[in-house]
Amino acid sequence: MHISHKKWVLIYFSIIIPLLLIIPIYNYHIDSDFIFNNTNSPSHTKLLQSAKLLHEGASLSQKNWHGHELILLKILHFSLTESAPEVMILGTSQVANIGQDIIGKDSTFNASITGGELAGIIAMWEQYKLKPRNPNDQVLLEIYITQGGDKHVNFIESTLNYVRPPLYPYIKNFFQNHSKIQNKTTNDIIKQRINHLKSLPYAIKNFQASHSNNLLIDTNSPLILPDSSYNQMEHLADNESQIEHATQMGIKLQDRLIDIHNFEFSSSILMALLADMKAHGVKPIFLLTPLNPITYELAQQYNDFYPSIESWLRTYASEHDITIIGSYNPAKYNLSTSDFFDANHPRANAWRKIFSSISLM
């Protein structure tokens, strides 16, 4: 039977087109990295089940959670709360282990986003604004100063160049009046979505994720507690690697190039956030995360970056009747190297020392 050239072309495309569409359709459907904001994906459904377990008072295990899971899990967990907690903690992984046992309030929610940086703080603030709250409710705001060097963004800057895809839908409204930031983040997310849509490695990752179990309750040594704080275990960093990381980071921070004395704080993301908080009737408590003593001492050898920022923050806080908890300088709380996991992540015991003399109303 003779088949014409035209029919061969039709047969070819009828086979190749579905094959080309399989990977994009599969990646969008599973979406284990939550790139596409597909709330109907199996990945989203499983994560919502985990969030419901936390909301019901369960603790989740030390399974190999990846960063995007932890981000969206935090958002979904908070979305299940009916009203704002007495104490809301906005921050990064540096404050992730501050729980209700340290704060001293049963109604505490640790909304810190590990790996989220500024975008994570803003995303959770946007969620907080949606909740009914009492006049006495308090927001602890970590004044995040990255240890990543000049390529990462500080709270005191006016740009945002780092947004994890799961956070994008939750920060858009905040930056609607900041066209430069809005356009950059939108373009970055579009590029990531296109790349992930056609990615074979992402399809393999999605296949593996679709056969994993995220619903692991653990009451003995959990990672995620019902107040959404992290139970970071003491064995996460040994003494040798801890000192090495603290030393390397301290040397790296000696190269800070920002001239703090000529910096325009008025145009910073921090000022935009504080203005939005004021507009919604919220006066935050500033939370300053101390550095490892090794890191802090090395960082100050060639510049006064951290002391200058802290001095400015304390002056601003005094002028606006804002309370400050913590300090970038570990010596103010007699913290030692053993109080840290690494250069910039205090252990729970360090936070207990800091909060021991503080009583939140």
pLDDT digits (tens, 9 = 90+) for 18-72: 666 788 899 999 999 999 999 999 999 999 999 999 999 999 987 778 889 999 9
Show the beta-strand stretches assigned E in the chain: 87-90, 108-110, 138-142, 285-288, 324-326
Q: What is the pLDDT of residues 226-285, one digit of tens each?
A: 999 998 755 555 677 888 888 988 888 887 655 555 566 666 788 889 999 999 999 999
pLDDT at residue 151 greater than cutoff 50: no
CA 357 – CA 361 distance, rounded (Å)? 13
Residues 6 or more apart whose Cβ sits within 8 Å of residue 244: none
Q: What is the DSSP letter of 33?
A: T
Cα four-point dihedral sign 34, 39, 41, 47: positive
CA angle 111, 112, 115 (to 5 degrees): 140
pTM for the full model?
Answer: 0.88
Q: Mean pLDDT, to the nearest integer, of 99-105? A: 91
CA 99 – CA 231 distance, rounded (Å)? 9
In this structure, which topology does domain 85-180+219-355 adopt according to CATH? Answer: Rossmann fold (3.40.50)
In 3D space, the residue among 77, 98, 102, 79 whose CA is nearest the CA of residue 89 turns out to be 98
Q: What is the pLDDT of residues 233-242, one digit of tens each?
A: 555 556 778 8
The end-to-end CA distance of the chain, in Å, is: 87
CA 130 – CA 78 distance, rounded (Å)? 11
